[in-house]
Structure 1
Amino acid sequence: PPPTTPPPGGAAPSLRVSGNRLVTAAGATYRLLGVNRASGEFACVQGKGMWDSGPVDQASVDAMKAWNIRAVRIPLNEDCWLGLSGSPSGPAYQQAVKAYVNLLVANGINPILDLHWTHGQYTGNISACTDVNATCQKPMPSRQYTPQFWTGVATAFKGNDAVLFDLFNEPYPDAANNWSDMAAAWRCLRDGGTCTGIEYPVAGMQSLVDAVRATGATNVLLVPGLTWTNDLTQWLTYKPTDPRNNIVASWHSYNFNACVTETCWDTQIAPVAAQVPVHAGEIGQDTCAHDYIDRLMTWLDSKRLGYTAWTWNPWGCSGGNVLIEDYNGTPTKSYGEGYRAHLLSVTP
């Protein structure tokens, strides 16, 4: 196989899908290895400003580069982007996202823009909030606003194929119908419409692909599966159609999920990765140790797949999944230390 491309000295590479690989414009295989930088999804709707008081300046990016981070997944809030609620909201929020994206790209880091919190009232099974506004994670995006969100994001970043679009963070229409009909849940994911247990009209992944492509944007798209995108078992069957064939499967893997063994990964994830690129957009463990992610990364490395760990925010590791003690990049014990050591070992 061709060697994995080392991080460029200049701007982040434009990327596209070729077979089951992400490749640069020159056709070299490229792995997205990095972190999530949370807060764009919640701070604006919680009265905490744009980035929850954390820096998004050159020094904070230099701290990431010291870990050999070359992909940053940025969770976003639909209401704040569209100006429906929150502060900053509308153009001020959009401008802040654009500025951070441009800074990352200039530093050789590929941003992954992830739609995390969305509009639509959901009070059903495993509801995270009863608010119609984008104040928590909903089971599916809304037909009312999400195509509009992606039209706006795609218009803002079209022409810059170093930026990737993660169409919806963690769908759970299967939980909404209480796992009573998995085929219906997969159809809901792709086609949207009226979905059992969800009170609002749903935007399916096909409509979001269409919304992005209608702008002329050619960016790589990440498309999730079910069960908070830990389940990719029927992903290939229900993959949306993309005229550019530029779709990556989005997978999340934590130690508390259902699919946590090499046997499960070989059975459920490897067949997808044989057909399309798979990106593990969130990986982590709730113990502050790194034994689970070590096993997981060893497996992902063997398949030459990318991963972005949760999370580059100094929130204290008592709840797990927190990589840093401060925005200077001091790693947490021992989860952050383990992840940093691994990144430094796999990236030349």
Structure 2
Amino acid sequence: MRHPPRSVLSVIAGAVALFASAIVPVVSAQGATTACTVEYAVTGQWADGFQGSVRITNDSSPLTGWTLRFDFPGGQRVTQGWNGRWSQSGTTVTVADESWNGTLGTGASVSAGFLASGSGSTAQPAAFTLDGASCDAGAGPTDPPPTPPTPPTTPPPADGTAPALHVSGNALVDPSGRPRRLLGVNRSGGEFMCVQGRGIWDGPVDDAALRAIADWKANAVRIPLNEECWLGLPGVRPEYGGAAYVAAVRDLVSRVEAHGMTPVVELHWSYGRYAGNSAGCSDVHATCQKPMPDMQYSPSFWKSVASTFKDDRAAVFDLFNEPYPDRATADAADAWTCWRDGGTCPGIPYEVAGMQDLVDAVRGTGAKNVIMAGGLAYANDLSRWTAYRPADPAGQLAAAYHGYNFNACADESCWNSTLAPVAAQVPLVAGEIGENTCSHAYTDRAMKWFDDHGLSYLGWTWNTWDCSSGPSLISAYDGTPTAYGVGLRDHLRALNP
């Protein structure tokens, strides 16, 4: 869903922060000539690889370009990197500046991140050089990344624990084999607040706020995320990105589950410049909905997210909010091929990560969580979903649909012809349903159809916006519904009195 207008604030270049849950002791280095200080850390790990970061502080004269080198001691190989130009020859890894971060004054710092294969090895480099000058062991940097928020000492009240989920035929089921329809709400904020420099969540996400959602008899909450904020890329304020952002998402997921609700973590806003048909913005950064995920960062995002939650089978992964490569090309086959395979796609100037790339990124971590993949036309078109479905070696793939009163596929005829055949093969989740009328006539019809077919649906959105521009389910975070939200609240309570 596109969001109400927001004033985008100036963003501040930040460092890649360290992930609170996976930090290992850093290697700090400082040469005899005080050329530099380097902090190296492993920030995420999976069966055959890991994610890491380097933070360089220039302790010498100002630089207008820089090159850092180090040797991997355990057979690791860099497979992807960001905030620098990464390469590897033998055991030697080289990362050089990008055009926008080459100036490094005395005392200034820059961070860069990478993914590497390692067959379980994360042995750390022993030495670094900056522009050929040795940086030997010594003190760490004087300006470390911000400390992540301290987790609460008292756990949230356990009103119920969300069950682990898996796909069985065309249904989502719990460990005992009981079907579980996902019926709930979206909780918007994590996709836009951080990149706009205004925080992480839009409104409270404490236990009282989550209890209000549960009081509607919801059993699922979809949580939109921003890939630049999760990865802590430059342009995101450190207090809202990287470690702080990851810690906040982990905490919200934990609290959602403690209230008996399934968390659906979802990539909403992503990187890549697109100014073509139906563009939401012309900004290369993750400040609006793009037609497809980007190859530069989206696979890294999902490898990191999957590594974070792979031991929590209650968490569901929604690969990408609302694909619309069909707006960039008039050829439906080209659009669906782009959706599945990515690469160079007609009308999209950046390299695309297809749904198969993202499934592979998740499964490469060993994660077996349920994965959702939305179709074309902002996830409203599932007409060729089964023909182009990505391969999932874990067999845990579900289809995602978004339906609003203003969409092309918004009535029983279309649902019968395009959704029902998909739902006969795999679980189908309406990740977003809603209308911009401040009423609920459309959502009432949609919920009835989905109920009749035993399918899942989540209302957009649990935020206190104007229901005609959001649309918004609530007028206050205590659960007071808008005229539109009354329909979903009363329906869920009727299903689960």
Q: SS at 1:187's partner residue?
A: helix
1:26-37 aligned at under 5 Å gives the runs 26-37=176-187
Q: Does 1:155 align with 2:307?
A: yes
Amino acid corresponding to residue 312 of structure 2 in structure 1: N
1:111-166, Cα deviation, whole Å (9 max, x unpaired)? 00110000011111111111111000000000111000000000000110100000
Residue 93 of structure 1 corresponds to 245
Alignment-derived partner of residue 199 in structure 1: 349
Structure 2 contact 465–471 (Cα < 8 Å) conserved: no
**Per-residue deviation, 1:262:** 0.6
Q: Aligned with 1:41: secondary structure? A: coil
CA distance in 1, matches of 2:232, 2:216: 35
* Whole-angstrom distance in 1 between the partners of 2:415 and 2:304: 35
- Which structure is higher in RCO with an 8 Å CA cutoff and minimum separation 6? 1
Which of 8-17 and 221-230 deviates more? 8-17
Which secondary structure does the structure 2 equivalent of 1:46 belong to?
Answer: coil
Note if contact 1:116-1:137 (Cα within 8 Å) is conserved in structure 2.
yes
| Mapped pair 1:83 → 2:235 | no
Q: Give matches, 1:165-244, under 5 Å.
A: 165-177=317-329, 180-244=330-394
Partner SS, residue 228 of structure 1: helix
Deviating above 4 A after TM superposition, structure 1's stretches of 4 or more consecutive aligned residues are: none
| Bigger share in strand | 2
2:288 aligns with one of 130, 136, 139: 136
Deviation at 1:9, TM superposition (A): 5.6
- 1:298 and 1:218, CA in 2 relative to 1: closer, same or farther beyond 3 A? same
Cα distance in 2 for residues equivalent to 1:306 and 1:191 = 27
How far apart are 1:320 and its partner, in Å? 5.1
Provide TM-score, normalisation by structure 1: 0.95
- Determine if contact 2:372/2:399 at 8 Å carries over to the other structure: yes
Distance in structure 2 (CA, Å) of the matches to 1:227 and 1:194: 19
- Partners of 1:113 and 1:165 within 8 A in 2: yes
175, 191, 205: which one aligns with 1:25: 175
For structure 1, the residue ranges without an aligned partner over 5 or more in a row are 1-7
Question: How far apart, in 2, do the equivalents of 1:48 and 1:329 lie?
Answer: 23
1:258 aligns with 2:396: no
User: What is the 5 A alignment of 1:114-125?
Assistant: 114-125=266-277
Given the alignment, which residue of 468, 471, 475 partners 1:321? 471
Instruction: For residues 156-210 of structure 1, give each alpha carbon's deviation from its aligned partner in whole angstroms, at most 9, with x where no partner exists.
Output: 0011010000000000001011xx2100100000000000010100000001001
Q: How high is the TM-score relative to the length of structure 2?
A: 0.67
Q: Please state how far the C-alpha of 1:46 moved relative to its aligned partner.
A: 1.1
Larger radius of gyration between Structure 1 and Structure 2: 2
Instruction: Please tell me the root mean square deviation across aligned C-alpha atoms, in Å.
Output: 1.0
May I ask how many residue pairs the two structures share in their alignment?
A: 337
Q: Are 1:285 and 2:407 an aligned pair?
A: no
For residue 216 of structure 2, what is the aligned residue in structure 1? Answer: 67
Q: Distance in 2 between matches of 1:276 and 1:187?
A: 20
Segments of structure 2 that go 5 or more residues without pairing to the other structure are 1-157
Contact 1:14 1:25 in 2 (8 A): yes
Identity %: 57
Mapped partners of 1:74, 1:108: distance in 2: 15
The structural deviation recorded for 1:82 is 0.7
CA contact (8 A) 1:288 1:319 kept: no
Name the counterpart of 2:80.
none
1:87-119 CA-to-partner distances (Å, cap 9, x unmatched) read 301111111000000111111110001100000
1:346 partner letter: L
- In structure 1, what is the Cα distance between the partners aligned to 2:333 and 2:395? 24
Larger relative helix fraction = 1
